[in-house]
Amino acid sequence: MTNYEESIQPTSDSFWEVGKYQRTVKRVDNGYKLCDSLRSLIESRSEIERNYAKQLTQWTKRWNEYLDKGPEYATTQGAWRGLLQEADSVANLHTLVGENLMSKAYADIKQWQKDNYHKSMMHFKETKEMEDGFKKAQKPWEKKYTKLQAAKKEYHTACRNEKSTANQENNARGDSAVSQDQ
């Protein structure tokens, strides 16, 4: 290929080019993996929430025991106990958040993933369907595109041959050893 022919070839990874739909098809596989990652994210957040609630509960238990045995009384003890009750309430909220993350968000994503991705032998059914659909959609104009590329190649070859022949003719005219008929 000459530099000119190379410069006219499409160089993009445009979705619209023949066979360049693979990135779009790959998104189906990536979607499944992203669902797994999102579930993992929710699971770890739920664990953080539950651990925080557990630590708050342990903290309130320790300080309630201190107040039960300590010298504090009356309003000061009431203020301390109020703070500890608030911490217990916050712990209950975080426990609830952790449970809801797992029972609602995590479960919903898992169910959606199960409903929308169907595994076959090597890949997802949806991936295969999408790839087949793109191939089918591109088939008519892929043939025309192939013919166009062949015609371009023939045209450029003919142009090169014509230019080469014109150069040979000009060289022959300048050469006195070659007759006019030749």
Which residues of the chain are under the pLDDT cut of 50?
Answer: 1, 4
- Supply 82's token pair: 């109020």
pLDDT of residue 14: 75
Task: Judge contact between 161 and 65, C-beta under 8 A.
Answer: no
Measured torsion, CA atoms of residues 42, 48, 49, 50, in degrees rounded to the nearest 10: 110
pLDDT at 4: 47
- The vertex-37 CA angle with 19 and 122, nearest 5°, equals 45
Question: What is the pLDDT, as a whole number, of residue 119?
Answer: 85
Alpha helices in the chain (DSSP H): 3-7, 22-69, 74-100, 107-116, 125-174
Alpha-helix runs per DSSP H in 70-124? 74-100, 107-116
pTM above 0.75, yes or no: no
Q: Tell me what pLDDT residue 85 has.
A: 96
